Amino acid sequence: MLTKHISFVLYTLFYPFDVANLNAFKAGTALPYIVKMTFITNQKGPRALAYAILCLRSKSERLRSLGKVGFIPAFFGISEPFKFGIPMVLNPLAFIPLTMGGTISVAATYFATYIGLIPRPNGIPVQTAGTPEFFRAFLLGGWRMFIWHVVAGNFAGYLVPVHEND
Written in H, E and C, the secondary structure of 73-84 is HHHCCCCHHHHH
- Per-residue pLDDT reduced to its tens digit, 44-58: 667 778 788 888 888
CA distances from 150 to 16, 84, 141 (A): 27, 22, 13
CA distances from 119 to 23, 28, 57, 67, 79 (A): 16, 14, 31, 31, 26
- Per-residue pLDDT reduced to its tens digit, 52-98: 888 888 888 888 998 899 899 888 878 788 878 877 667 777 777 76
